[in-house]
Amino acid sequence: MIGIFDSGYGGLTVMKEVTRLLPEYDYVYLGDNARAPYGNRSKETVVKFSEEAVNFLFEKGTRLVIFACFTASALALRELQEKYLRNPQSKYKDRKILGVIRPVAEKAVGETKSGRIGVVGTRGTINSKAFNVELKNLRPKVSISSQACPLLVPLIEEHWHTKPEAKMILRKYLRPLKSHNIDTLILGCTHYPLMIADFKKIMGGRTKVLNSGEIAAESLVDYLKRHPEIEKQLTREKTGKFFTTDNAEKFAAFAKDFADMRAEDVETIGIS
């Protein structure tokens, strides 16, 4: 089984792409809706919540957990990889936890011609500088402009992202990135692909806007090719089970609206 973890609904944009490219496996999705959003929370809190999520998904028997959430990838991934995978006392040493920041950074470095890259995300992701670290590791001379866009997640979840007010806010957020003449823009948040057309329109034809859900999915395909020992352990009944820490009906309805996904098997759980 492959586990997909997100603070709430956003990871469905990643799951949708992953299941499109790799439909043969079994998936378990966990959305921590009761405690979402994570975007403005402290590192300590995001680490604690993410650890509880990983524990839950490993207990369910997943061999591989993907942190679809950029905020969790930025603030908690490294620590939890250390704790679960590299600690000799851990009972989950043979499992894997993958994040979304590294693959998207790799793609951006491959795409940019000018070396000027923009990153947008939640406040937690941007303040962590996780993208800056990855991008600089990959190409030290890259120039990075970042912008936190904290109003976008609530607007998208309220279905307000198609309204002129949302586009006006987006234009304001993107102004500094436009003036830096970036040629590549990373959408470093699970929700932003829902506004990708607006990002493209505002940035103009010379800026490539990277769809993070697609990139995360492509990178998983590549990872499984490079790690047949893990791929062999994955069960393949084509099942999809969804867990949420909030209301199950609301989750199913949102999955349809938000990611055009049919979430038939949704269960409410408590994790702590």
What are the residue numbers of the active site? 69, 189
CA distance 96 to 81: 8
Using CB under 6 A as the binding rule, whether residue 7 contacts ligand DGL is answered as: yes
DSSP one-letter string for the chain:
-EEEEESSSTTHHHHHHHHHH-TTS-EEEEE-GGG---TTS-HHHHHHHHHHHHHHHHHTT-SEEEE--HHHHHHTHHHHHHHHHS-TT-TTTT-EEE-SHHHHHHHHHHH-SSSEEEEEE-HHHHHHTHHHHHHHHH-TT-EEEEEE-TTHHHHHHTT-TTSHHHHHHHHHHHHHHHHTT-SEEEEESTTGGGGHHHHHHHH-TTSEEE-HHHHHHHHHHHHHHH-HHHHTT---S--EEEEESS-HHHHHHHHHHHH-----SEEE----
Q: Using CB under 6 A, which of the segments 31-39, 91-99, 108-116, 169-177 binds ligand DGL? A: 31-39
Q: Smallest distance, Å, CB 122 to ligand DGL?
A: 4
37-56 residues near ligand DGL, rule: CB under 6 A: 37-39
Give whichever of 169 and 234 is closer to ligand DGL, judged by the CB atom.
169
Residues 6+ apart with CB under 8 A from 89: none
153 is a site residue for ligand DGL (CB under 6 A): yes
Is 36 among the residues that bind ligand DGL (CB under 6 A)? yes
The CA dihedral of 59, 43, 145, 171, to the nearest 10 degrees, is 90
Contacting residue, 33, 50, 125, 245, with ligand DGL by CB under 6 A: 125
Question: Taking CB positions, which residue lies at the least distance from ligand DGL?
Answer: 39
In the bound state with ligand DGL, the residue whose beta carbon lies nearer, of 71 and 244, is 71
Name the one range near ligand DGL by CB under 6 A: 2-10, 15-23, 132-140, 231-239: 2-10
Residue 128 in contact with ligand DGL, rule: CB under 6 A: no
Closest CA to 243 of 79, 80, 1, 6: 6
Residue 62 touching ligand DGL (CB under 6 A): no
Closer to ligand DGL at the Cβ: 146 or 190?
190
Q: Tell me which residues in 155-214 interact with ligand DGL (CB under 6 A).
A: 189-191
Indicate whether 99 belongs to the interface with ligand DGL (CB under 6 A).
no
Residue 154 Cβ vs ligand DGL, minimum distance, rounded to whole Å? 9
Among the listed residues 71, 146, 207, 245, the single contact to ligand DGL using CB under 6 A:
71
Stretch that binds ligand DGL, among 16-24, 30-38, 84-92, 179-187 (CB under 6 A): 30-38
Select from 69, 108, 144, 170 the one that contacts ligand DGL (CB under 6 A): 69
Which residues of the chain form contacts with ligand DGL (CB under 6 A)? 6-8, 10, 36-39, 69-71, 122, 125, 153, 189-191
